[in-house]
Amino acid sequence: MEGAQAVREAQRHGRVRELFVTDAAAARHPELLGAGSSRPSWITERAAASLSDTVTPQGIFAVCDLVDVPLERSLAGAPRLVAVCVAVGDPGNVGTIIRVADAAGADAVVLAGDAVDPHNGKAVRASTGSLFHLPVTRERDTAAALAACRAAGLTTLVADARGELDLHDPAVAPVLAGPVAWIFGGEAHGVPATVAEAAEHRVRVPIHGRAESLNLATAAAVCLYASVGARRLRSRPDE
Amino acid sequence: MEGAQAVREAQRHGRVRELFVTDAAAARHPELLGAGSSRPSWITERAAASLSDTVTPQGIFAVCDLVDVPLERSLAGAPRLVAVCVAVGDPGNVGTIIRVADAAGADAVVLAGDAVDPHNGKAVRASTGSLFHLPVTRERDTAAALAACRAAGLTTLVADARGELDLHDPAVAPVLAGPVAWIFGGEAHGVPATVAEAAEHRVRVPIHGRAESLNLATAAAVCLYASVGARRLRSRPDE
């Protein structure tokens, strides 16, 4: 883990094994030094630069336990909203989707297929702590991940620019409002055709201008929040 | 401009003055070589690496006309949806917001205050061509930008985590569905308090999990698409 926000979240969730900090970072974040069970190890700015994979290192690092959990634990307890990323390789996108899923109140994030490691430094930073807030699972077998979602009572919805359902069609709102697993693919190729065909519905985010598409994290945000909004409408049928 | 997609869009909109290309890029993108009025200049891989601000340069570059337009032109003709970024410094966020605004069918994007230059290479790449699809304006005077939005008949809505309106409150939908200017602030500090107070409404994206916030581009996507969805619902009152 790198950076004060990520380290703070890791401490809050009891995940820190070792803490490394520069003098300057210690002065900026004294609250982080006494929080863990272990004493910090002091490092130089030069060591911080070599540990860091950012251009301007914050000077605070932690070695943490891995956070991912098995699929059956992610999907336990009647989930209502799950985000599934299929073969998403960009760590920034994965971290941002974990953050958005957390904000939308999702029960879990599943990284299926040949996906980026959620412990990747860039993914951790982009998640801004959300990696610790909800269960995150890696499952190489995409078909198994989708079968598990269906077995958990989730309707499988693929976000697909050529989908047969329009996200904003009022007739689609009851589908969005139910227990759903939203399935997102990599930005270059989308969800693999076999996966898209195996899902119950393919849903398109309507494009009204001349953009060819949305980027992955913004599309995921629009889809996950569409489910949140649709539930809200259905819970107040008088409105 | 850097990269095949950005150059293609610039050519399509007649914005390219000069084109620079490596042998390898020319072989990959022959369709880009004859499209402009000017002949390409051939460059070495080494020259491409020095022109590029990416780690793995695509080997194709163009010198283009600036695209930004004056505020009065951006807001001409009864706009219905405008995205205003106030003092947003991250070029990736600005480019992604331009792309999302385009996809949502927005009439314009206004970069107000001390904002990043939309011609910044990273902003151009993140916009994936959308920079050419809708008017983009730079206006250093934020108050003037908001006054111009109101004069154009737009309701000013600030995306604000502590806003008094809830994006998903059905009672808010008529506001979202009208002609609106959505105002977004930088990720670290949000919209300046004076700007937020001067706007007609402050709207919060509800956070259902334990995330502290959404990132800027995903929040903008959720807000802009909430307006698109609210219009769709109002246009079909029987649903």
ipTM of the complex: 0.90
- Give the global pTM: 0.91
Asked if B99 lies within 8 A of A215 by C-beta distance, the reply is yes
Residue A209 has pLDDT above 80, yes or no: yes
Q: What angle do CA A74, A77, A80 make, to 5 degrees?
A: 80
Chain B residue closest to A108 (CA)? B209
Judging contacts by C-beta atoms under 8 Å, the chain A residues touching residue B168 are 228-229, 232-233
Mean local confidence (pLDDT), A74-90? 96
User: Which pLDDT belongs to residue A122?
Assistant: 87
CATH topology of domain A71-235: Alpha/beta knot (3.40.1280)
CA distance B114 to chain A (A): 22
Query: Structure tokens of B16?
Result: 């390219």
Contact B186, B226 (CB under 8 A): no
Question: Rounded to an integer, what distance in angstroms lies between the CA atom of residue A61 and that of residue A121?
Answer: 11
Q: What is the mean pLDDT of chain A?
A: 92
- A228 → closest Cβ in B102, B208, B232: B208
**Structure confidence by residue, pLDDT tens digits, A141-158:** 999 999 999 999 999 999
Rounded alpha-carbon distances, angstroms, from residue A72 to A111, A115, A136, A154: 14, 19, 11, 14
Judging contacts by C-beta atoms under 8 Å, the chain B residues touching residue A9 are none
Q: How confident is the model at residue A10 (pLDDT cuts 50, 70, 90)?
A: confident
User: Which pLDDT belongs to residue A116?
Assistant: 92
Rounded alpha-carbon distances, angstroms, from residue A232 to A206, A228, B166: 21, 6, 11
Residue B182: how many CB atoms within 10 A of its CB? Answer: 29
**Structure confidence by residue, pLDDT tens digits, A20-68:** 999 999 999 998 987 655 689 999 999 999 998 787 889 999 999 999 9
Residue A209 CA, chain-centre distance (Å), reads: 28
| Domain boundaries, given as residue ranges, for chain A | 4-64, 71-235
Residues of chain A above pLDDT 90, percent: 77
Query: Structure tokens of A232?
Result: 């809200």
Query: Structure tokens of B19?
Result: 């084109």
Q: Which of the residues B203, B208, B227 would you substitute to probe the A interface, choosing the one with the greatest number of A C-beta atoms within 10 Å?
A: B208
Contact B206, B105 (CB under 8 A): no
Contact B167, B203 (CB under 8 A): yes
User: Which pLDDT belongs to residue B36?
Assistant: 59
Mean local confidence (pLDDT), A105-114? 97
pLDDT in tens, chain B (239 residues): 888 888 888 888 889 999 999 999 999 999 898 765 568 999 999 999 999 878 788 999 999 999 999 999 999 999 999 999 999 999 999 999 999 999 999 999 999 999 999 988 889 889 988 999 999 999 999 999 999 999 999 999 999 999 999 999 999 999 999 999 999 998 788 899 999 999 999 999 999 999 989 999 999 999 999 999 999 887 765 44
Judging contacts by C-beta atoms under 8 Å, the chain A residues touching residue B221 are 214, 218-219, 221-222
Q: Which of the residues B222, B223, B234 would you substitute to probe the A interface, choosing the one with the greatest number of A C-beta atoms within 10 Å?
A: B222
Judging contacts by C-beta atoms under 8 Å, the chain A residues touching residue B222 are 221-222, 225
Beta bridge partners of A190: A186
Asked if B103 lies within 8 A of A207 by C-beta distance, the reply is yes
Q: How confident is the model at residue A238 (pLDDT cuts 50, 70, 90)?
A: very low
Mean local confidence (pLDDT), A98-111? 98
With an 8 Å Cβ cutoff, the interface of chain A facing chain B consists of: 96, 99-106, 126, 128-130, 133-134, 167-171, 205-215, 217-222, 225-226, 228-229, 232-233, 236, 239
CA distance B115 to chain A (A): 21
Query: Structure tokens of B213?
Result: 């916030």
Question: Rounded to an integer, what distance in angstroms lies between the CA atom of residue A219 and that of residue A225?
Answer: 10
Beta bridge partners of B42: B21
User: Which pLDDT belongs to residue B239?
Assistant: 41
Q: What is the dihedral of CA B199, B202, B205, B208, to 10 degrees?
A: 160
Count the helix, strand and coil residues of chain B and give each as a percent rounded to the nearest 5.
40, 20, 40
Q: How many CB pairs under 8 A join A and B?
A: 136
CA distance A6 to chain B (A): 12
DSSP state, B186? B
User: Which pLDDT belongs to residue A34?
Assistant: 75
Mean local confidence (pLDDT), A97-113? 98
